[in-house]
Structure formats: C-alpha cells, structure tokens
Amino acid sequence: MFKLRSLDNEKKYGIAATSMKELLETGCKKFKLCSAGCRVCLYEDGTELTEDYFRNLPDNTQLILLTKEQAWSGCICDISLLLGSSNKQTTDRLIESAKSLLSDENAPKRRKILQELIHNLSDNAEAEDRECDKDWFKGIDSRFKTKSDYMKYNCASRVRGYLKEVKDYTGVSPKVQGEYQKIVATMVEQLKTVKYNGCYFDRREKDSLCTQEGWFSCQGAFDAEKCPSFHSINPYGNCESRILFSTWNLDHRIEKKRAIIPTLAKAVENRKGREINWEYFYSLLFTRENLKLVHIACHEKTCHNLECDWSKVYTKGKRRRQ
C-alpha cells in the first residue's frame, strides 16, 4: 500500500499495487489523468520510480503522480508554493494538507513543525478591527477598537515603564534631586509629543519596527548585527502570537540601569554650570538609537559593558551661571 497524490491535488489516496504498471493505471484512473507520458516519483526528493526501485519500496511510501509536462524536485516544491502563494484558496488547501499530515504523524519533532505551520497559516493578520477578529481581542479592554491601537498602547506602556525607572532612581544626591527631576520633566514633555513612541509597534506608522502586515524580526543580541536564528513573529495574526510577543524585549544596548541612569545622575552632580545634554540621554533611554527588539532567546541579561559617551553628556554651548 502506497500513499499517492497528484501535483494538482494535495489529497492522498492509499493505492495497492504489485507493479509500476498497475500503480500508474490505478493512479491515473483515481486522478482522472491520461496515462500517456505519466510517471511516478518519490514525494520526498522527486526520484522517478523504475520497476526495480518500485519492488523495494516500503509500505506507506509517499509518492506523487506527474503528467508529461509536470516536474517535481521533492517536498521543497511545497515550501516554494507556500512561500510564493498569496491566494487564500491555495493557503486553505495547504492548511488542510498539513492537518492531514498531522493526523498521521507520531514523531514529536514533525508534529511540532506541522503545528507551527498550521498556526502561522491560520492567522487573521489582515483583519484590523475588533469586529473582524474578536478572538484576537480576548482579555483586552473594550476601549481598544483596532489591533494597531492596542499595539501602539503596548509599546507606549513599555516606554512609560522605562520613564518610571528614571524618575524613581534613588542614586541621585538630595542636593541635586531638583535639577535631576527638571531634566526628567523635559524628557516627559518630549515623550508626550511623540506619544511615548508607541509608533514602534503600530504597523500603520512609518517608524514602525514591523512590516505593513505586522511582522516583526528579531534584531539580534546587543552585540550582534543580526539575529542568527532569524526569529520573527506577527502579533497581529492571532491571540497566541500577541501574547507570545510580550516575551520579546526592547533591549537597551547601552544598559538603562547599569549605565544610562547612573551616568545621568553623575552628570547632574558634576555639571559645574554646564548644561546637561538631555536629548542625548533621551535618545539612549527611549528611542531606536539605543533600543533593539529581540526575541527572548537573544536577550542577553549579562553585563553589556557599554558606557555612555561622556563627550556627549553636556551641551557644547556656554556654561550656565550658578
């Protein structure tokens, strides 16, 4: 018994045959194809079967029936079809095909691959409004009517968290606490004008970190140029992906707690009439100048050993009078 499909039909049929001739005749009849010029290949790698090869095939081998004009180089063709297709009908057929394979698959690794394929193909990323994808909004406050509005809020909330850490820093000398908080207040006003940079997660915005479809790519660890594992995610696709995206980090290359905030506090204490370059610290704390979006596996929690540039800590204008 063999599992046979055609190039134009992902459905597999169990075919019993004792010879190549019988297999071809039965297959062509099943798929309503003219037998002239037809041939059978291994689904896995596209090897064309001969009579001798056929006799040594194990049970349940997956085969594909091709007409004279058709070609098959193995299961990689299915991957090419998947990546190149934007047709919903084709995608739906691929989902059904993957589900069919999953029902017959017992190997944990292969089941995992098929499950993730089905999960990603079954998303509803193109939907934007709550009414068009109610499942995506499960557990989200009713004031959010679109996915982009919620994602913008999600990013702004992270930035607000960074701001709170700056405000609440306890390493500032009481003598300069007032000056320190004035600088923080200036940063707050700037953040308000850009709505706390919520645009980074909003797929409608020009400065977004994602594509127009909502795909985010990991930018790699703080000391890497890119992600070696090519991590990516589309939190706009479904509820599960949205939740998983919360484990991704906006990581500070120059660390917030170990370097930036302590340097700001020290700069205020030692300013000696000089103006603090608050825009420099602002860029390090809250903008893509120093932030990298990273998958949790690429988030290095060890010390980055990167310091602020002291040549940029103070403005280059005249000293301020005491």
pLDDT tens per residue, the chain (322 residues)?
899 999 888 788 999 999 999 999 999 999 999 989 999 999 888 889 998 889 888 888 999 999 989 988 776 666 665 555 555 666 666 677 777 777 776 778 777 777 777 777 778 899 999 999 999 999 999 999 999 999 999 999 999 999 999 999 999 999 999 999 999 999 999 999 999 999 999 999 999 999 999 999 999 999 999 999 999 999 999 999 999 999 999 999 999 999 999 999 999 999 988 999 999 999 999 999 999 999 999 999 899 999 999 999 999 764 544 4
- Output the pLDDT for position 322: 43
- Evaluated on CA atoms 137, 141, 145, 149, the torsion sign reads negative
- Output the pLDDT for position 83: 58
- Output the pLDDT for position 185: 98
Alpha helices, DSSP H, located in 68-131: 76-84, 88-104, 108-121
Q: At what angle do helices 261-269 and 177-193 cross, to 10 degrees?
A: 130
Is residue 6 within 8 A of residue 39, CB to CB? The reply is no
pTM of the model: 0.71
- Output the pLDDT for position 41: 92
Q: How many CB atoms lie within 10 A of CB 90?
A: 14
Angstrom distance (rounded) from CA 128 to CA 316:
47
Angstrom distance (rounded) from CA 232 to CA 248:
10
Alpha helices, DSSP H, located in the chain: 20-31, 51-55, 76-84, 88-104, 108-121, 147-167, 177-193, 239-245, 261-269, 278-286
- Output the pLDDT for position 91: 66
- Output the pLDDT for position 18: 92
- Output the pLDDT for position 252: 97
Which of 198, 162, 125 is closest to 281 using CA atoms? 162
